[in-house]
Every structure is written in C-alpha cells, then in structure tokens.
A and B are shown apart, each in its own frame.
Chain A
Amino acid sequence: MKNNRFIIIILLLFIASKVSAQNIVKYELTVTDTIVNYSGKEKRAIAVNGQIPMPTLTFTEGDIAEIIVHNKLKESTSLHWHGLFLPNKEDGVPYLTQMPIEPNETFTYSFPIIQNGTHWYHSHSGLQEQIGMYGSLVLLKKKDDPTFRKGIDDLPAVPIILSEWTDIKPENVHRMLANANDWAGIKKGTTQSYSDAIKAGHFKTKLENEWKRMLAMDVSDVYYDKFLINGKNESQLSQFKAGDKVRLRVSNGGASSYFWLNYAGGKMTVVANDGNDVEPIEVDRLIIGVSETYDVVVTIPNEDIAYEFLATPEDRTGSASIYLGNGKIQLKSRMPKLNYFEGMKMMNDMMNMDGTMDDMGMDMSYQQMDMNTVMYPEISGNPKMKMDDEMDMDDKMDHSNHSMNANQDIVTLNYGMLKAPQPTTLQKDAPVRELRFELTGNMNRYVWSMDNKVLSEVDKILIKKGENVRITLYNNSMMRHPMHLHGHDFRVLNGQGEYAPMMNVIDIMPMETDTIEFEANMDGDWFFHCHILYHMMAGMNRVFSYENSKPNPYLPNKEWAYKKLQSESNKFHFMAENDFATNGNDGMVMLQNTRWSFGTEWRLGYHDEHGYETETHIGRYIGKNQWFIPFVGFDWRYREQNGEVEKNIFGQTNTKDQRAVLSLGAEYTLPMLVKLQGEIFTDGNVRFQLMREDIPISSRLRWAFMVNTDKEYMTGFKYIVTRHLGISSHYDSDMGIGFGATLNY
C-alpha cells in the first residue's frame, strides 16, 4: 500500500472522534482498495480506514450516529446497518433506499440510536462484503436502563466478527456456482463420486441420488482458503485472568458460512440473539447462521491457561481461533469430518421424484430437529452406523415432545430454547396480514427463489402501517437459508408464548416451517432476503413496501431504481470451454441467467474430411426444477465427404457436406441427470439425443457420453487438473479418437 494513502487513513482515524456534548457520535470511514495475504497469495480486498474487518463502531442508546463514508474505490459502494431500526433512507441498500455511493463521493448516514445490543454493518453492494466490508456495531445500554442486567451487561465485552476468505474473486465464485462448476467440491474433498461412494459402502445411495436428479451437495458450496475471527485466523486476548467472565459479542459476517461456536473452557451462556436479550441459557455449542449475532458469556477457569474459542464453518473444512487468557493454550478438539453419504441418504429419503421434498410428517421447525445430525460423527457415531438404527424413516413419528438429539450429552442451542426476558406480544386489535413463502431453489443451476420466483419476477409486497404482519416460511429447498428482514425485529413463534424471542434473521433448515410476526410501524421500502450472499445475488429476495410512504430524497425515481435492483440479482453468467484435442476442437460458450440460456457448441476438425460443425441454442428454463428447456436453434456444418449420404435411424437422409438449418427443440433432464434432446430442423429432419457430461467417477475424473438418432456417438473422460484445465480423451463417431487439454472458464 502506498505510503501517503496510509497517512490519510491514519489522520482520518484521529478525526473519528466523539462529540459527546450534543450526543452526536461521529465516525469517518474511508473505503479503499487494498492488497491482503491470508493464504500465501496476494489478493485484492477492500479496507475501511486501512483495516479489515471495518472498525468496530460503538454507540450508546440515545446517541445520534453520524457516519461519514468516503468512497475511494473505483466502484460504487454502500453501508447497511444490519439489525438497526432507522429511517428508511439511512438503511444503505443501493437502488432501494439510496443511490450507490459513487467513486470519490462522500455520503453521510445519520440516525438516532433507539435500541441496544450486538449488531454489525456491511456493504450491501454486490459481493463487497466477501472481501472485507464487514464490521461490528455495538449499541450499549444506558446505565439506568431498566433492562440492565447485573452480571451480564456490566461484564467486559469483546466484539467478535467471523468471516471467511477465498482467493477466488467473489464474482467468479458466483459464476462458478451458477455453472455448477465442482471445483469447490474437489478442493474440499466432497465430490462424493461413485468411487467415494463404493468405498463408503454407499453405491446404492449415490445411484438413488442421481436417479432423483440431485448433484452431490454439501452443507455449503464455496471453498474458502481461510476462516477469520476479527480478521485473523488465530489471535489471543491475554488480558483475562482466572475467574474472569467475558461477554463475547459474536456476529457472523461470513458471506456464506454458518459457524459452530465451541469453547475449551467449559459451557457457554447465551445471553442475547440478534441484539435482543434472551433468558440466559447454558450450552456446549451453537451454530450461528450467516448474519446472525449471538452474545455468549464464557469463564476463564484456571490460572496460566488460555482457552480456545473455536469457530468452525459448517462444512468443517477449517476453523478460526481466539485464545482467552494467557499461558499455555488449552485447545478444543476439532469437529470431525461430516459423513456426507449419510446426509445424501437422508436427502434421498426425503426427496420425491418430482423434485419436491417430503418431511415425512415430522413437522420440523425452529432448528429443533437438525436432520444434519446424521452427518455429525460426534453425535451419531461412526460412519457405518445407519440412520435407520436411530429412527425408522418409514414410521411417522410424533416429534412434538423431543428433538432428535435430545438424548445426547452435547447440548446444542436451537431456536426453541430461546426465550425473551419480557413479553414481546404485538399490539392487540391490529389487523393481521398473513403471508406465506416457500423457499425454493434449484441446486443444479444455483437458482434461489421464493415461491419459485426471483426478485426480478415480482413486484414489491405492499404492507400497511399499523398492521401486524405474520409470515409463514416453508423451506422446500435442499439448503438452509438465513432470512433477514431489514429495519424490523420479528417475533419467532417458537412455543415460548408471550416470551417469543425477537430476531431479525431466522435460519430455516430444509423442510422446516417457521412463523414470524412483526408490527408494521415504519415507512419506506425494506429488503427481506436470504443473507447467504450468493443466494441473495441469485435472486432470493423480496421487498416489503409501506403503502403511501413519503418520498425518499436520496431516490427520486423509485420505479427506475427498483428495476435496477431487480436486475442486480438476475445477471447473466458467462461460461466457456474448449477441448484442444488431437482430432479436433470441441467446445462451447454459454450465457445464462435465471431463466434464459444462450449457447453455442462447436466441433471443429483440422481438415475438411473431419468437418466443422456448430449448434446454437436460445432457450428458456421452465418449471421450478428447470428440467425442461425448449429452445430455438441454428445449426451449420461443412464436411467434405464426396457426396456420401448419411441416413438417420428414421431413414431420413442428409449429406452433411454443407448444411445450414434452423431448428425447434427441447431438452429434458431425465433421472440419472441424463439430458434428452429432441430437435426438428427446417429441412424436415428430426434428431433425438441422449447425453450426460460430468459423471463423477472419482474425485477428479469425469465420464461423458452422447448418442443420437443420426447414428453419432461420443464417449470420453476428463481428468480435472486445475480450476481451468483438464486432460481429456474421447472417441467421436465423426472424428475418431482424440486426446487433448480442456480449458474452461
């Protein structure tokens, strides 16, 4: 980093001072490009006041916050105050509550602090949060607050913000996810290939999984190089002594990782969630969803020992630690690797052939029955132990009184255990507005939606000031989703009656049904979305809009802005591949968004006898599973075969020498993920084709085949060497055998 830039940043740090007389607390934040090295490689990131995470901002309830943002990036930015109640125009969502803060522009956020608790803040522009724009936001209680809890609110507190780092540019991460690129699985060792399945004694499980048209799935889909607590993989707070109690204000600023929290010094006491106090509850561990906050109190038990506070991402591919106390470090054991095939088996049992999920009458809700437990060796035992031993999936069970891991020793927090210290009931007699959303997704194409619609396909949802909004959410997708509502806390109807806990993020596991409710007491437009950044960017969003809101001075043209917002999460993803083989070039380019696909494939020989051939398709994915895609096409080919006439199996002929035709066709994904394509061409010819690429033989080896009614066929293998390179060999009825290198982007 340049010297003078640093001087500026440091000077700005000094200016960020508190003017307590007027109760205005002011921070200056300068956003700059920076270079970081978390993994041994230098990569671009974004720093605020020269640091990652962004500085911790602290206010006391009753203060007025004034946060001045200088954008020194070459791109626009924004800051969202996650979990805060504030005027809509200060909420920091570009194209929804303000215009983006353009390069070299300064923008001032100013709002009164009318709540307390642990919150955080982050950029709401694109994927900036992934590369550094997250920070803790601590709102202190006033000393005379009637809810001040002696022994909790007066403890020394440490802000803890969790995050992850990937060396791959987040835009590319997103692109690769959309293209079902399985590089992350290879890096994580979770390809779940046929040979892995055979080794684990789960061949039938894998077969059934593909029969039901599922790709190998993981609890998370991004490979991260490092996991961080307050920007470091390992750090120590040595100021604490034996007997000290410490309150950790934990925010999950990760872009897509849920984190398990464990502590080497004994149990943890959960005292708040999403900035709201809860009745203290002792647990051995808890999982913190993306963008959630939890306050936990831990004790330093012994002299001369520092105790590890361990954050482990849900996929358990790494961890981050902070040591509390000084002296020898008491470690916490690492969480054992997941039994993926047990998870796959469970998914198979719950997946219907039509791609919908069946909870088998278990009425799952509020994290109380964590189906993932079948994958946790520390609870469900060694991998060979089958789920059937614990519960017979065919029997409908009454799960109302116990949770699945109730008889285990490890106490894991779930939402059902959270209870507000005071009643949280909403205003009586207010009209109730009932809404229901089904969380939906298509893993194979990484489309995430609500009621099978992405933001770009829906209008804002109008709500009225003064009504109570009750939302039922059902997760019919294969992944969990941390759903976040801006500007409001909602009650989570978890069975605690009047004392239902208040949250602003609710994690919903597959097949769960959760109900939340809130008082509509604001004004303006509020985002409601999945906080997994890549799901949000895939369109899993809605906007709640108050009827008759007053105009937003920062956003003069709201209709135009909403169109911009919609397009932000329905962008086209580019993909390209070419196999440079001894017998020719084989490749394709593709441009796809949620519903549309534009693609061209080619097979180019090295001489006229082998010929040249291209096929272009423009298609639209239909249905929630997107198994069906009708398209229009254009084929062109040239080959010198001295007038030799080819016959297809229907007896139709074509010379193949030179042909340029339009076509109408459709593709359908069959069980085993085989693609059936039917096409009728303007010259009257008809062609059907079966094809599957990327059959995972081993972690890096893929098998492909194609056969069609023109009596053409192909089979080949590809060994994936790096993210962009594979070694391939294939046999093609037109071009014979070939070896080559496949480059893909």
Chain B
Amino acid sequence: MMALLVLSITACNAQLKNQNTETVKIYGNCGMCKSTIEKAGNIKKQSVVDWNKETKIATILYDSLKTSKDEILKRIALAGYDSDSFLAPDDTYSNLPNCCQYERAKEVSSTMVMSTNNHSQHSNEMTEMQDENPLSAVFDNYFALKNSLVKTDGTTASTSAKNLSTALNEVKMANLSNEVHMVWMKILDNLKTDTQKISDTKETSQQRQYFNSLSKKMYDVIKISKQETPTYYQFCPMANDGKGANWLSKEETIKNPYYGSKMLSCGKTVETINK
C-alpha cells in the first residue's frame, strides 16, 4: 500500500514554522470527504492538509516541533478516514454520509485487490516487494559497526565504518520505495559524513560521538523500511555527557555501544520497529 505515495511535493507557500511537508494516501471519495479530512487535519499554526479527491493523496504541511504526521493522520482517522498508518473506528466510518462510504483499505488488504489502482509505479512496487531490501547491506554494516562499539573495539569499528561507506554508495536508489527514497535523499549526506568520521579514527570515544548522530539518521530510514525481523530503537540516558544517546539493535536485550563493558546494559528500548 505504501506504493500509493506520490513523489512530487506540491510547492506550497510556507506559512508554518519548522515546516515539514509530506504526502500520504488517505482513503476517501468525494468533495465532502475532502472537507472532513482537511477540517480534521488542520490546526492553526500547526498543520495544513490538502487532499486531492482524484488521487486520494494528501499533502501535509506541519510544524515539526509542534506535531507529527502520525498525530495528523490519527485525527483524520478519528474523523472516519483510513490511511496507511491508522484505520478509522468502524462506527465512525459507518456514520459517514453515504457518498463518503469509500472502499476501505482493510477489506482490500485481505484479498489483495490491486485492480482498483493503475498507478504507473504499481508494477515497480510489486517487484520490489519480492526483491531484497536495497538497504539491507547498509543495515547489516551498521549493526556490525554497533557491535564493534559494544566491544569497545576501535579497529574493527573503523573497518565496519569503511564497509558501511561502501554500502552507502552502492544503494540502488531506483529500487527504493518513494517514501524511503524521500527520506534517504534527506539524510544521505549526513550518513556519509558520520561514517567517514568514524572510519577515520580508531579512538572509540570519538567514534561514539559520530555514532550518536549516525544512529539517529539511520533510525529515520529504518523506521519506514521493510524488514524481516523487528529492530529495537534503544536509548541510554547517561551517554553523550548525560544528554542521552540512541542506537539501533536487532536484539531486544540492551548492549550499550556507548560504554561497552563498563555499563553494558544501561539503557532501554524506546521503540520496537516492525514493518
């Protein structure tokens, strides 16, 4: 269903602070749906939703410090409209006016009826679902790097970072889904710099500084990528001079890459990412 995202972002006049723009599919039918969806999504000085009833795609502008895409989509779902993150309550849906009783995604998903959509990206998406995730090499090398930091092994960490650099350069961006692609473009430069910095040194204390920002970026992309098994987003409040730092792990058990054996199990899982 992710395939139904469009790439193009409508250039909107920016009136919001810390503005973020995203496009998402919101299921609906008619002009009446449009006004309900937008009314539910809009909050003054926080978010502006523009839903296109032909493409079912909404452009969402929001102040990223005040709200999030999920908050907005949740409000819209509570008004009766499904999206790819939230399903509307059944009673709210059935209370929608007749003309708004759109075909629901959750009924569609069980039978995999794809005939209703004839987007050009469609075939592309189908093959991608069967192929290996184009980012899997990136993730694998990231986890290798994390594991060497857990062991406080600067030399291996440097090597892992080099491998990660290579993997970053070899990602076939054409195979990325649109949503992932958009995020990827945003963070790629940062990923490269951080990785470079880590590979340049064998001093774990320095490597860990960059690993913090690298992990945050990696989280942005892993959050929206398809994975076989869950990834755990973990947090240690003591790291980074008491400011706290995050990392990603394939294991739920805490193995802290910022302290190694000194404080191996300091931290907690703050989010379990399943996709």
A301-332 contacts to B, CB under 8 A, are: 302, 304-305, 326-332
Which of A239, A327, A333 gathers the greatest number of chain B CB atoms within 10 Å? A333
Q: Is the CB of A331 within 8 A of B274?
A: no
Q: Is the CB of B272 within 8 A of A331?
A: no
Chain A residues, Cβ within 8 Å of B88: 331
B106-137 contacts to A, CB under 8 A, are: 106, 109
Q: Is B31 part of the contact surface with A, judged by Cβ < 8 Å? A: no
Known pairs A238-B274, A305-B87; A331 contacts B77 (CB<8 A): yes
Q: Is the CB of A333 within 8 A of B77?
A: no
Q: Is B92 part of the contact surface with A, judged by Cβ < 8 Å? A: yes
Q: Is the CB of A7 within 8 A of B272?
A: no
In the complex, A7→B256 CA distance in Å? 14
Can you list, as one digit per residue, whether each of A207-241 has a CB less than 8 Å from chain B (1) or not (0)?
00000000000000000000000000000101100
Known pairs A236-B272, A328-B106; A7 contacts B238 (CB<8 A): yes
Q: Is B78 part of the contact surface with A, judged by Cβ < 8 Å? A: yes
In the complex, A641→B87 CA distance in Å? 76
Known pairs A305-B87, A326-B274; A10 contacts B78 (CB<8 A): no
Q: Is A3 part of the contact surface with B, judged by Cβ < 8 Å? A: yes
Can you list, as one digit per residue, whether each of B163-206 has a CB less than 8 Å from chain A (1) or not (0)?
00000000000000000000000000000000000000000000
Q: Is A148 part of the contact surface with B, judged by Cβ < 8 Å? A: no
Chain B residues, Cβ within 8 Å of A264: 89
Can you list, as one digit per residue, whether each of B219-254 has a CB less than 8 Å from chain A (1) or not (0)?
000000000001000000110011000000000000
Q: Is the CB of B109 within 8 A of A304?
A: yes
Q: Is B85 part of the contact surface with A, judged by Cβ < 8 Å? A: yes
Which of B82, B88, B105, B274 gathers the greatest number of chain A CB atoms within 10 Å? B274
Residue of A nearest to B74 (CB): A331
Residue of B nearest to A236 (CB): B272
Q: Is B266 part of the contact surface with A, judged by Cβ < 8 Å? A: yes
SS class, residues of chain A in contact with chain B? loop
Q: Is the CB of B92 within 8 A of A333?
A: yes
Q: Is B91 part of the contact surface with A, judged by Cβ < 8 Å? A: yes
Q: Is the CB of A329 within 8 A of B238?
A: no
Q: Is the CB of A333 within 8 A of B86?
A: no
In the complex, A302→B266 CA distance in Å? 36
Residue of B nearest to A235 (CB): B271
Residue of B nearest to A334 (CB): B78
In the complex, A383→B86 CA distance in Å? 30
Q: Is the CB of B89 within 8 A of A333?
A: yes
Q: Is the CB of B84 within 8 A of A328?
A: yes
A459-509 contacts to B, CB under 8 A, are: none
State how many angstroms separate the Cβ of A124 from the closest Cβ of chain B. Answer: 29
In the complex, A10→B238 CA distance in Å? 10
State how many angstroms separate the Cβ of A37 from the closest Cβ of chain B. Answer: 13
Q: Is the CB of B78 within 8 A of A333?
A: yes
Q: Is the CB of B109 within 8 A of A331?
A: no
Chain A residues, Cβ within 8 Å of B92: 333
**Residue from B85, B105, B274 within 8 A of A329 (CB atoms):** B85
State how many angstroms separate the Cβ of B266 from the closest Cβ of chain A. Answer: 6
State how many angstroms separate the Cβ of A317 from the closest Cβ of chain B. Answer: 16
Which of B74, B87, B106, B230 gathers the greatest number of chain A CB atoms within 10 Å? B87
Residue of A nearest to B105 (CB): A328
Residue of A nearest to B1 (CB): A328
Chain B residues, Cβ within 8 Å of A327: 274
State how many angstroms separate the Cβ of B224 from the closest Cβ of chain A. Answer: 14
State how many angstroms separate the Cβ of B68 from the closest Cβ of chain A. Answer: 11
Q: Is A6 part of the contact surface with B, judged by Cβ < 8 Å? A: yes
Residue of B nearest to A325 (CB): B274
**Residue from A7, A236, A333 within 8 A of B91 (CB atoms):** A333
Residue of B nearest to A262 (CB): B89
In the complex, A506→B92 CA distance in Å? 34
State how many angstroms separate the Cβ of A264 from the closest Cβ of chain B. Answer: 7
Known pairs A6-B238, A238-B274; A332 contacts B89 (CB<8 A): yes
Chain A residues, Cβ within 8 Å of B274: 238, 326-327
In the complex, A331→B87 CA distance in Å? 6
Chain B residues, Cβ within 8 Å of A326: 274
**Residue from A2, A7, A328, A334 within 8 A of B87 (CB atoms):** A328
Chain A residues, Cβ within 8 Å of B91: 333
Can you list, as one digit per residue, whether each of A499-521 has a CB less than 8 Å from chain B (1) or not (0)?
00000000000000000000000
Chain B residues, Cβ within 8 Å of A333: 78, 89, 91-92
In the complex, A1→B263 CA distance in Å? 18
In the complex, A21→B217 CA distance in Å? 47
In the complex, A476→B262 CA distance in Å? 61
In the complex, A10→B85 CA distance in Å? 36
**Residue from A3, A328, A330, A332 within 8 A of B238 (CB atoms):** A3
State how many angstroms separate the Cβ of A200 from the closest Cβ of chain B. Answer: 23
**Residue from B89, B105, B272 within 8 A of A238 (CB atoms):** B272
In the complex, A2→B237 CA distance in Å? 10
State how many angstroms separate the Cβ of A298 from the closest Cβ of chain B. Answer: 16
State how many angstroms separate the Cβ of A528 from the closest Cβ of chain B. Answer: 39
In the complex, A512→B151 CA distance in Å? 65
Residue of A nearest to B95 (CB): A333
Chain B residues, Cβ within 8 Å of A304: 109
A233-259 contacts to B, CB under 8 A, are: 236, 238-239
State how many angstroms separate the Cβ of B67 from the closest Cβ of chain A. Answer: 12
In the complex, A562→B87 CA distance in Å? 56
Q: Is the CB of A328 within 8 A of B86?
A: yes
State how many angstroms separate the Cβ of B45 from the closest Cβ of chain A. Answer: 14
Residue of A nearest to B86 (CB): A329
Can you list, as one digit per residue, whether each of A256-272 has a CB less than 8 Å from chain B (1) or not (0)?
00000000100000000
Chain B residues, Cβ within 8 Å of A331: 74, 77-78, 86-89
Q: Is the CB of B87 within 8 A of A329?
A: yes
In the complex, A305→B89 CA distance in Å? 13
**Residue from A3, A6, A7, A328 within 8 A of B85 (CB atoms):** A328
Chain B residues, Cβ within 8 Å of A6: 237-238, 242
Residue of A nearest to B82 (CB): A328
State how many angstroms separate the Cβ of A259 from the closest Cβ of chain B. Answer: 18
State how many angstroms separate the Cβ of B261 from the closest Cβ of chain A. Answer: 14
Known pairs A3-B242, A238-B274; A330 contacts B87 (CB<8 A): yes
Chain B residues, Cβ within 8 Å of A7: 238
Can you list, as one digit per residue, whether each of B127-153 has a CB less than 8 Å from chain A (1) or not (0)?
000000000000000000000000000
Chain B residues, Cβ within 8 Å of A332: 89
Residue of B nearest to A237 (CB): B272
Chain B residues, Cβ within 8 Å of A3: 238, 241-242
Question: Other CB < 8 Å A-B pairs besides A3-B238, A328-B85, A328-B86, 19 of them?
Answer: A1-B242, A3-B242, A6-B238, A10-B263, A238-B230, A238-B272, A302-B106, A326-B274, A329-B74, A329-B77, A329-B86, A330-B86, A331-B78, A331-B87, A331-B88, A333-B78, A333-B91, A333-B92, A334-B78
The 5 A-B pairs with the shortest beta carbon distances in the complex, nearest first, are A333-B89, A3-B242, A326-B274, A330-B87, A333-B92
Between-chain CB contacts (< 8 Å), 21 pairs: A3-B241, A7-B238, A10-B263, A236-B272, A238-B272, A238-B274, A239-B272, A304-B109, A305-B106, A326-B274, A328-B82, A328-B84, A328-B85, A329-B74, A329-B87, A331-B78, A331-B87, A332-B89, A333-B89, A333-B92, A334-B78
Which residues of A come within 8 Å of B, CB atoms? 1-3, 6-7, 10, 236, 238-239, 264, 302, 304-305, 326-334
